[in-house]
Structures are given as C-alpha cells and as structure tokens.
Structure 1
Amino acid sequence: MSCQDTPARQHSQSTSPTSTAVQGEPFKEAAADGFVLGGFTWRQALPDIQRPAVIINAATSVRCRHYSRFAAYLFGNGFDVITYDYRGIGESRPDSLKGLQASWTDWGALDFEAMLKRAQREFPGQPIDVVGHSFGGCAAGLGESGQVIRRLVTVGAQFAYWRDYAPEQRWRMFGKWHLLMPLMTRICGYFPGKRLGWLEDTPAGVVRDWSTPTARYERRPSGRALMKKAGSLPFANVRAQTLAISISDDPYGTIAAIERLLACFSNAPKTHLRIEPQDIGEQQVGHFAFFRSAYQATLWPIALTWLHTGALAPDTPGRTVPRS
C-alpha cells in the first residue's frame, strides 16, 4: 500500500427522498488559530430568536456529509443546522496531512469552538443545541464557550478507552486501533485510513490521542497539553440538558464507555438511553448507522423530541440507565 498523501475526492452532497429535499449552503470559517474549516449551513428563510440552531459534531474521521440527511431532517422540522469537518477531514482537508498539527483537543477546543462562535454570529439570540456522534460528543465538552449550549444529544459518544470496548471484540479492536493504526501513522506521517477502507485519512495527532491506552481524557497527549495550558478541561462549562443515546450492539459505545464520558460533564443534567436493536425491530444497528435515513422513523425522532423538549417521549424505545 502506498503512503502517497492525496486529498480525498469531493463528492456531491445528496439528500434522502424521505428527508427534506434541500442541500446545505457551503461555508468557510477560520478557527482562532487561523485554520480554515469547511462546512454547510441549513438556514430557514426568516430569522426567529425562538428557533434553535443545531451544530452536528462528527465522529472521528467521518466526513460531515455523512450527517447531511439527518441535518435536512432537523431543518425540515424547524431548526437551523450547521455541519462541518474537523481540520484534516473532508471539507477541511489541506493539500497534505503530513506535518499537520491536529489533535482531538484541537478538534474540540478550536474547531468546535469556532462553530459555537459562528452559530452565535449567524443566528444571534437563538438557542444553540448540539448533536455529537462518537468523539463528537466529547468535542462538545472541549469548547470554551460550552455554557451557551442549551441541549445536547450524543450518540455512541466516548473517547476510545480500550478496556471499555465490547469484550467479545476488545482484542481485535485493540490490535486494529491501538497497534496497527499508530504503526501505519508512524510509517506514513498520517493514518491512510481511506486506502485501508477504515474511515478517512487522519492526522497523526488524532491517532496519538485515540491510541493512547488511558482511561482519563486529561491523560491523552493533547489532553495533557490543554491541562498544562489552561489548568483544567472545559467540560464543566457545559450545563446543557444532555441525552446520551447508546446502542447495545455498538462495540465502542458500551455502558462503561458512555458513562465514562458523561462523568466529564459534571455540571450537566444527564440521561442515558440504552437501546437494543430489537426495540426498533432490527437485528443490528452498531456504531455508525444511527444517522442513516433508514432510521428516520425509529431513531431520529428520539433526538428530535429531546431537542424540542429536553425530555423523552413516553413511547421512546429502550431503557434509561440508572445514574450512579
């Protein structure tokens, strides 16, 4: 396999016939350090300070276009929506990933923070909500302006502590993500995930954070750097009504993994909803499928209702995990 560093081809954005047939408007936004990020905005025709604006945070090395149908669904249900790519991914990928200084903390403290500032500027006076998938839920706690978040929905959100992986897949996942991924990154200067069929190509600093086998985010390489600089992590700034959705056949999003991240949001009221695929008439869902349009009728309304009301509907599938 070649380590040649070439940007992934840009694909046209698509919409689902069962979602609002609308495409987001592309934008560019500079983070505080000057790095230019790319994304899309779904904007209602008329301003309304009562209407929430939702920022969607992607999973590690998943392009924001993966969430376009879900964004169109939220838009069709009355929200303004922002999707974006972290530095090094998709719309925010430079010509080369070799030498790109980008970490998980950069994705949260710089990139997500830039989206919080953009939402406040583009939708002044409107409530700001966040949907975070996988690491995107962690990123929601790394923005310095986290106190402006009204409601937060996370899906399979955790920061890849290997002992929290599902036991039956733990060692295979450890070998893939904590041995082979950093080895390939050391050889190539970035992780060539696209060529391997493992997500998008990924900056080396993100790989270091992901593959470091520690149970505390502040002990990941970029977490340590942020602690040294700021003295604390900004998770406590978030006071949003938080719903953490986990799926029982998600090997990353075990109860232990979800609860580990939720504990970081020390000042947020939290609800953890655990769903079995059978609860919605499915055999499997896994880590990535929640945002596919096949689940518009079964899973998407859970997030929609929480964003509208801050509560679960009485007929919500699954069970709530008791708070310790």
Structure 2
Amino acid sequence: MIQERFEVVVEDGWCLDVLYLPATEPVRGVALLGHAMMVDRRSLDLPKGKGLASTLAANGWEVLLPDLRGRGASGPSAAQGADWAYDDLVRYDLPACVAAARQRFPGLPLVVVGHSLSGHVSAAAEGAGYYGQSPDAHVFFAVNMWAPSLEPLWWRRRLKGLAAWGLGVLVMLFGRFPSRWIRMGPVDEAATYMRDIVRFWTEDQWKSEDGSVDYQEGLAEVSGPVLAWIGVADRLLAQVDAARQWTDGLSSAPVDFRLVGRGDLGLAFDPDHMTLVTDERARPVWLETVRWLDQRLLGSSDGD
C-alpha cells in the first residue's frame, strides 16, 4: 500500500506528523484515527498492514493517522523535555487535523475513530466548539473519562484513586510520566498533561485548566452518530459500567454502545483496553465498524 506523510501546523505552532493510507476504490469517506495515551499511531495498525487502519483503508476509507504532539515525528517528546497540556490536544491538535482532513478531501464524510484518549479529546473538542466543521460521526474504542462521579463501584473508585495518586508521584519524581521506564507504553507523557489527568479525578471535574470550559457538560453538544466499543476484558481503564456512565453524557447524539467478548461477531477472545485495536483477532469488530459507517453515513442497508 502506498503511504504518504504530511505535516499539520497547529495554531500554537506545534507541527504534527500525519500518515495517509489511501482508500481502496470505491472511496466511502475519510477516517481520522487517533491513538491512546502512552502510545503513538503505530498502535492503530497492528500488525502493520493488517490492523485497524489498514482494514478501514481496504474497505474504502481514506485513512489519516496523526501522531499527537510529543510522539513519533510530532516531537519534541516529553523525554526530551517538552511539555504540553490536555487542553492543547482539545483546542489545537485534533481540530487542526480534522480541518486538514476536510481541506484535503472536500465533500467526503469524515469520521473520527478515537482510541481511549483521542476519543474523549474529540468529544471535548466538539462540545467546546473548537471544530470549524464537526466530524460527521465518531467511533470510540475503549473511551471513557476517569472521575469519581462516573464510577459506580466503591472499590473501583478506591483503586482509581490510588492509581491517580501513583501517577502524580511518578510525575513529581521524574518531571514527566515515565511510561517506558515502568513498561506501560512506548511514549512518555508530559508532566502538565498527566497533572491534568490526575486533576480530573481529584477534583471530580472534567474541565479546562482555567475552569472556563466544562468538557463534561459539552458532551451534550455532540450531535453526530456515535459507535462506542468496550471490550469485556477491559476491567479498569474503560470498564463497561463507567464507560456507559460517561457515554450517557452524549445526550444529543444517537449512540450505539456495544460490549464485545468471546463469541460476539465471531470473536475468539475477550478484548481488553488495548487489544480491542491492537490484536488482529479483533478484526470482526473492525469490519462491523465499516458496516456501521456504511449504514449511518452512506445509507447502505448492510454494507459491502
């Protein structure tokens, strides 16, 4: 498959590297794929050439894979001393990438496919009005937000609280979040960004740093159709009950919320937070995503 890379310069001057995977004809639309935290865009096409991104491209979707700031070719990285905030991703990175996608492929429907971080960042961006033209749809893989009010079980609240405390301690010790050192992922995260994640939990508020933008309230402004996937084996990071509580905030959007495990759609395993997008055995989920997009955006009765 021919691939192309290009740069998107965002409003605050950061340069984001975007990988383009061309669609197989006939072209259906544009899929902007956003990665999770502690990883980069490579996580969205594993195994390379056979993963989620390549599956979408092979089924008629022009695929754009940005590395958000601080990873891949969108450096400098946190390990190199760079810093950024959660608000930077919401206000600058994804809106710039969506605008670039609209400019590059005018007239085509556009869907943001967000894994974990990029899913809630895109929802926050739309809710805050940062998109010039909002995505026509969202597909969320393992997306939710950690906040005590969104966690129904006391013992998971306790566990998440301890995890948030640990995140804060590591940032204080290292001046960044050392994902690689503790083997949680290949990309270290910036100190300010991780403090924001901890703040969302400790203050039980998903808001901008200055408090002027309430991202949780903004979910009601997301209007396009949403497909939300949660894996049965995702027992903490995006556990189904907490994820459903978060997704319920999308009160103006038609939401198709799906919990998938062994036997569903022919799956031979129980997907967790990462394997929902990184394991080739999740291909039935990816193909069902194509069918859903065909139905919701293109009016097909059953997809191709």
Amino acid in the other structure paired with 2:190? P
Q: Please give the alpha-carbon distance, in whole angstroms, between the structure 2 residues aligned to 1:230 and 1:160.
A: 15
CA distance 1:310–1:190, change in 2 (3 Å): same
Q: Please give the alpha-carbon distance, in whole angstroms, between the structure 2 residues aligned to 1:102 and 1:149.
A: 24
**Unaligned 5+ runs, structure 2:** 46-50
Deviates more, 1:123-132 or 1:166-175: 166-175
| Superimposed CA distance per residue, residues 159-189 of structure 1 (whole angstroms, 9 cap, x where no aligned partner) | 22367398776655543x3122211111221
Are 1:288 and 2:294 an aligned pair? no
Amino acid in the other structure paired with 2:259? R
SS at match of 2:230: strand
CA distance 1:60–1:297, change in 2 (3 Å): closer
Are 1:30 and 2:34 an aligned pair? no
SS at match of 1:113: helix
8 Å Cα contact 1:134/1:158 also seen in 2:
yes
Are 1:272 and 2:257 an aligned pair? yes
Q: Please give the alpha-carbon distance, in whole angstroms, between the structure 2 residues aligned to 1:156 and 1:230.
A: 22
Q: Please give the alpha-carbon distance, in whole angstroms, between the structure 1 residues aligned to 2:290 and 2:86.
A: 27
8 Å Cα contact 1:105/1:142 also seen in 2:
no
SS at match of 1:90: coil
8 Å Cα contact 2:171/2:191 also seen in 1:
yes
Map of 1:158 onto structure 2: 144
Structure 1 residue 271, shift from structure 2 partner: 1.6
CA distance 1:297–1:116, change in 2 (3 Å): closer
User: 2:32 is matched with which residue: 55, 60, 64?
Assistant: 55
Structure 1 residue 155, shift from structure 2 partner: 1.2
| Superimposed CA distance per residue, residues 45-100 of structure 1 (whole angstroms, 9 cap, x where no aligned partner) | 88x8x731011111112211111221111111011011112211223220555663
| Superimposed CA distance per residue, residues 16-70 of structure 1 (whole angstroms, 9 cap, x where no aligned partner) | xxxxxx2632222111111111120113488x8x731011111112211111221
Matches within 5 A, 1:154-193: 154-161=140-147, 164=151, 171=158, 174-175=161-162, 177-193=163-179
- The percent of aligned pairs where both chains have the same amino acid is 21
Amino acid in the other structure paired with 1:273? R
CA distance 1:300–1:105, change in 2 (3 Å): same
SS at match of 2:177: coil
SS at match of 2:229: strand
Map of 2:197 onto structure 1: 210
**RMSD between superposed Cα atoms in Å:** 3.1
Q: Please give the alpha-carbon distance, in whole angstroms, between the structure 1 residues aligned to 2:24 and 2:240.
A: 41
Q: How many residues align?
A: 285
Deviates more, 1:165-174 or 1:87-96: 165-174
8 Å Cα contact 2:24/2:60 also seen in 1:
no
